[in-house]
Structure 1
Amino acid sequence: MPTPVDQPLRGIRILDLTRLLPGPMATLQLADMGAEVIKIEEPGAGDPARAMGPFPGELSQFFQVVNRGKQLLRLDLKNADQREQLLAMVETADVLVESFRPGVMARLGLGWEVLKARNPTLVVCAISGYGQAGPMALMAGHDVNYLASAGMLEQNAGSDGKPALANLQVADLLGGSQTAVQGILAALLAVKMGGPGRYVDVSMTHAVFANNVMPLVAVKNFGVPAQPGRDLLTGGVACYNVYRTSDARYVAVGALELKFWELFCATVGRPDWAAQHWALGQVVGGEEALALIDAVAGYFSGLDLEAAMACFEGVDCCVSAVLRMDEAMGSALLKKPGLEVIRSPVSFSA
């Protein structure tokens, strides 16, 4: 059996000048891997996330979730003495992460040239909406804007064509947090192998665009994006779709491969459906596919969620109940001590 080992980033010191979600989530993940993270906020209100809760005057759960385990420090970076205090900390730090608009760090006297002069092996990661240079670099934005600019929001639409706002901030978390962690770890590795410090420029819009794989493939294949709800993974086939039950709950069917679809069809007593599959030539989003989706929807509409899932108990064909967040937290798969605060999904052993 694997045995626990020290967290891999033990001994790494990170200065976190970020706020809200993308940067704090990135440094949280690094902290969960053993890094020492010092979060530096401006005096007064500090990180706006502190007040982003339903109860005025209370420290928000949002702030607590993404900043747990960090040391908290207040510095006024417009003050020369306190700015020098930060620069002194830079000398012993491994990483500095910031999410100001491009140019702000330089105007504060904390640009890349200044920082690397104080610490030649420092890794600096700058997270921004549109990158440090370019026609939109200085524009304000949030998750919805970056998704819109990257062509992803248009793809997240129902049959009426209106883009939906998912309660998972893809640009902030995939484009910002995950891309920053990836860049920081790569830069740290280069430094530990004897290289100089690195400046890591993370544009959330560019990162989302780079991960927008299936829509990019559709454009490469056909010259235009797929219609909303008509692509292989967005509702254009019966074997990969979401269906409403009689109690207004939902079932997710992910029987994408033919073997899973055949088993699904056998389980619901409709072996005649098995030949209607994209791998056997059914046109994705075509009339036959849409008719089959309606037929499968009719099957699930006659069952409540419990009865529907009972039909698939022990059947390995990629059918899942669509759980609410509170149900997911209490499920046998995810329930464990400490889940009331989000823990890293990564564990290490030797």
Structure 2
Amino acid sequence: MTSARPLSGVRVLDLSTLLPGPLATLLLAEAGADVVKIERPGRGDEMRTYRPVLGEASANYAVLNRGKRAFAADLKDPAERDRVLALAGEADIVVEQFRPGVTDRLGLGYERVRALNPGVVYCSITGYGQHGPDAGRAGHDLNYLAETGLLGVVVDGAGKPPVPPTVLADIAGGTYPAVMNILLALRQRDATGTGCHLDISMTRNLHLMAYGYFATYQGGDGWPVPGRELLTGGSPRYQVYATSDGRHVAVAALEQKFWERLASLLELPAEYLDERGQESRVIEVIGGLIGARPAEHWRKLFDGEDVCSVVVATFEEAAAAGLVDTDSDHRLVGDGFDVGALPLPVDPALRRPPGALGAPSLDPLPDGRIWPER
């Protein structure tokens, strides 16, 4: 078993706030990178003020920023800006999340950093990208989902799109593409010696999540009809049904063998086994069958069966079943690196807690440096 993590010795300067950038640099830190996070003096990252509190900051901040070193710096102050610029000059990776043009005005833009550090991988995460008519617009996760069409493909009985269960654009359109492209850019730098500027647009990266709709359109079947497609509520095989006690069952019996076994367990009348052309009626019939029994009945009935159907769990139930990792520690496994689910802050004996925000100056390491010697 090796003791070195994949990104040991890699230096990351994190200028981002809230979720997409900090989650990306957390994943880099978990892989061994040395992450220095710069925050505004006084209040620091806005997420420090969230509730509930865990330690000296919010639980959200603690989860996303543990294992990093946090320093306060007023980027509008030339002297403090120059200290941050010097850090960027020694960094392997810079991650920023300002609107396009802001880092240039501050004197910390890609061209300025590249002049000092040609090998830097400079990652900019924004809602709409660095260029184009929407580049300077403000937005949040729900806006990005709405404008890409994804929010409207699933609707309720009144035709209203639901609020998503989590921030999909921030993570799937921001964090993960950022990390993947940073790692690819580091690989390219190993070969060429030069870095690059990564333009991560959360809105445009959501197109990947809509791959099936684009494929269907290209195949001639048009754009998706809200609530009518196979995976958006149009099929009885992929549906959420209410139980008699106010719980729900998630059915995803897409393949024929799963569908036939589910139909057998439900005692679905034979005339509804082929749902084509009568999808709405079959949804209604199955809804009546599942709605006649409580969730526990269906939990026991489906246990051990290959029907791809489960009771919708609460977080408490998921944790009790071991499906939510509330005490995770990323481990070196054999010769690989196992990055599990996003963990809660771990035992300080195992990993540094999130850094406290000190005075508005960059506190050096004991030897007087910010970055350790390579």
Q: 2:268 aligns with which of 256, 267, 270?
A: 270
Is 1:202 matched with 2:200?
A: yes
TM-superposition CA deviations, 1:238-257 (whole Å, max 9, x none): 11111111111111111101
Residue 15 (structure 1) aligned with residue 13 (structure 2): yes
Corresponding position: 1:314 with 2:312: no
Q: Which residue of 2 aligns with 1:324?
A: 314
* Partner amino acid, structure 1, of 2:188: A
Structure 2 residue aligned with 1:291: 281
Alpha carbons 2:128, 2:203 under 8 Å: kept: yes
**Displacement of 1:146 after TM fit?**
1.1
Deviations 1:47-66 (A, max 9, x none): 111112257x9732111111
Once the two structures are TM-superposed, the CA of residue 221 in structure 1 deviates from its matched residue by 4.1
Distance of aligned partners of 1:72 and 1:209 in 2 relative to their CA distance in 1, 3 Å threshold: same
Question: Which residue matches 2:70?
Answer: 72
Whole-angstrom distance in 2 between the partners of 1:202 and 1:23: 10
Residue 170 of structure 2, aligned match among 169, 172, 183: 172
1:271 is displaced (CA, Å) by 6.6
1:292 maps to a residue whose letter is: V
Q: Is structure 2 residue 195 aligned with structure 1 residue 189?
A: no
Aligned-pair distance for 1:104?
A: 0.6
| Distance in 2 of aligned mates of 1:28 and 1:63 | 11
Q: 1:130 to 1:335 in 2, by over 3 A?
A: closer
| 1:32 and 2:30 correspond | yes
Which residue does 2:345 correspond to in 1? none
**Unpaired runs of at least 5, structure 1:** none
Higher relative contact order (CA 8 A, sep 6+): 2
Distance 1:6 1:302, change over 3 A: farther
Percent of counterpart pairs with the same letter? 41
Q: Is the 8 A contact 2:242 2:249 kept in 1?
A: yes
The normalised TM-score by structure 1 is: 0.89
Task: Write the mapping of 1:1-350 to structure 2, written as runs, cut at 5 A.
Answer: 3=1, 6-53=4-51, 59-222=57-220, 224-270=222-268, 272=270, 275-277=273-275, 282-283=276-277, 288-335=278-325, 338-339=327-328, 349-350=334-335
How big is each residue's C-alpha offset from its partner over 1:265-285, in whole Å with a ceiling of 9 and x where there is no partner? 1222337267415xxxx14xx
Question: How far apart in 2 are the matches of 1:251 and 1:322?
Answer: 6
1:290 counterpart letter in structure 2: S
Whether contact under 8 Å (1:252, 1:322) holds in the other structure is yes
Give the superposition deviation at 1:16: 0.6
Contact 1:5 1:348 survives alignment (8 Å): no
Counterpart CA distance in 1 for 2:268 and 2:93 is 58
Distance change in 2, residues 1:235/1:184 (3 Å): same
* Distance across 2 between alignment mates of 1:294 and 1:194: 60
Give distance in 2, aligned partners of 1:320 and 1:267. 13
Deviation at 1:230, TM superposition (A): 1.1
SS of the counterpart of 2:282? Answer: helix
Moved more, 72-81 or 156-165: 156-165
Contact 1:130 1:203 in 2 (8 A): yes
**What is the RMSD of the two structures over their aligned residues, measured on CA atoms?**
2.2
- How far has the Cα of 1:223 moved from its partner? 5.9
How many equivalent residue pairs? 334
Q: Secondary structure at the match of 2:303?
A: coil
Structure 2 portions without partners, runs of 5+: 336-374
Deviation at 1:203, TM superposition (A): 0.7
* Distance in 1, Cα, partners of 2:85 & 2:119: 14
Alignment partners' CA distance in 2, 1:37 and 1:349: 25
CA distance in 1, matches of 2:161, 2:71: 40
Alignment check: 8 A CA contact 1:158 1:228 kept: no
Would the alpha carbon gap of residues 274 and 313 (structure 1) be closer, same or farther in structure 2, given more than 3 Å must change? farther
1:124 is paired with a residue whose SS is: strand
What is the rounded CA distance, in whole Å, between the counterparts of 1:192 and 1:95 in structure 2?
13
Say whether the 8 Å CA contact 1:130–1:204 is kept in structure 2.
yes
Distance 1:123 1:38 in 2: 15
Say which SS state the counterpart of residue 41 (structure 2) adopts.
coil
Distance, in Å, in 2 between the alignment partners of 1:328 and 1:68 is: 24
2:173–2:206 CA contact under 8 A, matched in 1: yes
Corresponding residue SS for 1:276: coil
Per mean C-alpha deviation after superposition, the further-off stretch among 228-237 and 149-158 is 149-158
**Partner amino acid for 1:312?**
F
Question: Shift of residue 195 of structure 1?
Answer: 3.4
**CA shift for structure 1 position 335:** 4.7
